[in-house]
Amino acid sequence: MRLYVDGDKIITPNTVFTLYFTLMFCLYTNTYVQLIAQIMLIAYVLMPLLKRGYVRKSEISNLPFYIGWYGAFTVLMFLSRGWAYSVYSGSKTLITVFRICIMGFVIFIYANSKERVISIMQSFIIACSVMGVMALFTTILSGGTIGTTSFGVAIGQHRNQIGAVAAPLSVLCAYLKKYWNMKYGNLLCVYFLFLTVCTGSRTSILQIIVIYAICILLEKDAKVAIKKIALAVLGMIVVVVLVQSIPYLYDMIWLRIENAINTVLGKDSSDTSAMGRDFYKAIAFIMFKQKPWIGYGVDGFVCFLRDHPTIMGVYMKPVYSHCNYSELAADFGIVGLLLWYIPIVRIFYWGWQTKSSGYIEGCIYAIFVSIVISDYSRFPWDTHLSMYLLFIIVLLIRFDFLDKKRGNT
């Protein structure tokens, strides 16, 4: 796989990052493999700096933003143990966020140029491709679709997490093939679309529609925009026919989306998952009103449900709220919401300034917006898979903004 950027410039994937991402995504249940992979990547990035004896300004230029965002968020989570509602047995939230913070620190040091970010992005795409194959293979062998045999569980991933990265990559690969001549771009586009459908993640399927819709809105050529709309309509018709015709897809996708829409509209629905998520958000809002500034602390929401399994006559499992806004509000209050979303607003501003710079920039911006919208039904900050994608998107937007600010094209 390779990308052609600025004519004859060839950017290839980084072998070490490819190996690291692949090990992390496919052997997530093996703690020691994870640790070895992380030490390997840390050494790869930091050893040249230590040998040199000094750090270049470009290598730390991304750190102030990162430290003020995910670093500050990690510190808040650590401090919240002091006022946390309770301790959730077996929780790995804090250690996972801490490890993501360390690895993000390494990524933001290494990615001191747009070319390096693109190289990392390609490594991420390759690793996600391998992860998808492993998830498909192990799910077929397990012979099941729910619980401990659901899609991706055998390799330590959740189907919604896989969908969260497969959906944006399906659109990105198509754009990379067309405008940067990425090898196998169209094939990867179809593959990630297939992978998204296999996960059965409603949010991920809707995310593809959101990304494509934003890309169409950003299209400068009216004729091209009309062509894309026609292709989108045709594609949706084909997908609808397939989903309604194949029993597995009908049960996995059509009925679940239909029930989710009915739940949002207040109509009768048999989808306990959709109804439960709305109830979780309501409970989180009640908790937020009780402790609006600093919340109930790390794992506060899930611990509260554990101790109050029946609320207003409804039994609720002790799980997370399935919504970034409500989870942050309940666990970390206004402080947590500000620490997370003020930098997000800044990235949104950078992306808005660069969205019209080119087709790829518009696609990257559309992916970022779709991720923020998807926060309504998931939260990314405790998942390596989602956060690495978000780090890459943020870095690409940042470098595009800096290029435009300096007057480069």
pTM over 0.85: yes
pLDDT in tens, 57-104: 888 899 999 999 999 999 999 999 999 998 888 889 999 999 999 999
The conformational region for residue 152 under phi > 0 = left, psi -120 to 50 = alpha, else beta, is: left
In a domain, 328, yes or no: yes
In a domain, 245, yes or no: no
In a domain, 16, yes or no: yes
- Using CA atoms, how far apart are residues 240 and 234, in angstroms rounded to an integer? 10
AA letter at 190: V
pLDDT in tens, 237-272: 666 666 666 665 666 566 656 655 554 445 554 455
- Using CA atoms, how far apart are residues 290 and 286, in angstroms rounded to an integer? 6
To 10 degrees, the CA torsion angle through 20, 22, 25, 26? -130
pLDDT in tens, 181-215: 888 899 999 999 989 888 878 888 889 989 988 98
DSSP 119-168: HHHHHHHHHHHHHHHHHHHHHHHHT-SSGGGSTTGGGT--HHHHHHHHHH
pLDDT in tens, 365-403: 999 999 999 998 888 998 999 999 999 999 999 999 988
Average of per-residue pLDDT across 169-184: 91
To 10 degrees, the CA torsion angle through 386, 389, 392, 394? -60
Task: Report pLDDT for 117.
Answer: 96
Host H or E run for residue 286: helix 272-290
Question: Which among 72, 371, 59 has a CA at the least distance from the CA of 210?
Answer: 371
In a domain, 47, yes or no: yes
- 235 three-class SS: helix
In a domain, 91, yes or no: yes
- Using CA atoms, how far apart are residues 26 and 134, in angstroms rounded to an integer? 7
Any idea what the Cα angle at residue 191 is, between residues 190 and 197, rounded to 5°? 90
- Using CA atoms, how far apart are residues 33 and 174, in angstroms rounded to an integer? 33
User: Across the chain, what does the average pLDDT equal?
Assistant: 85
Least confident of 127-136, 138-147, 275-284: 138-147
Beta-sheet pairing, 9-11 with 3-5: antiparallel
- Is residue 182 within 8 A of residue 173, CB to CB? The reply is yes
Token output for 274: 């959709």
pLDDT in tens, 144-167: 444 455 788 888 898 889 999 999
Task: Report pLDDT for 79.
Answer: 96
**Chain centre distance of CA 177:** 22
- Using CA atoms, how far apart are residues 404 and 279, in angstroms rounded to an integer? 44
In a domain, 155, yes or no: no
Task: Report pLDDT for 90.
Answer: 81
Task: Report pLDDT for 262.
Answer: 54
Range of the domain at 88: 3-127+282-405
Task: Report pLDDT for 257.
Answer: 62
Residues 6+ apart with CB under 8 A from 144: 150
The conformational region for residue 181 under phi > 0 = left, psi -120 to 50 = alpha, else beta, is: left
- Split into its structural domains, the chain has a count of 1
In a domain, 163, yes or no: no
Task: Report pLDDT for 4.
Answer: 75
Give the sign of the dihedral formed by CA 369, CA 375, CA 380, CA 381: positive
In a domain, 249, yes or no: no
Instruction: Give the burial class of 39: count Cβ atoms within 10 A of its Cβ; 0-12 exposed, 13-18 middle, 19 or more buried.
Output: exposed
Host H or E run for residue 375: none
Per-residue confidence at 335, pLDDT binned at 50, 70, 90? very high
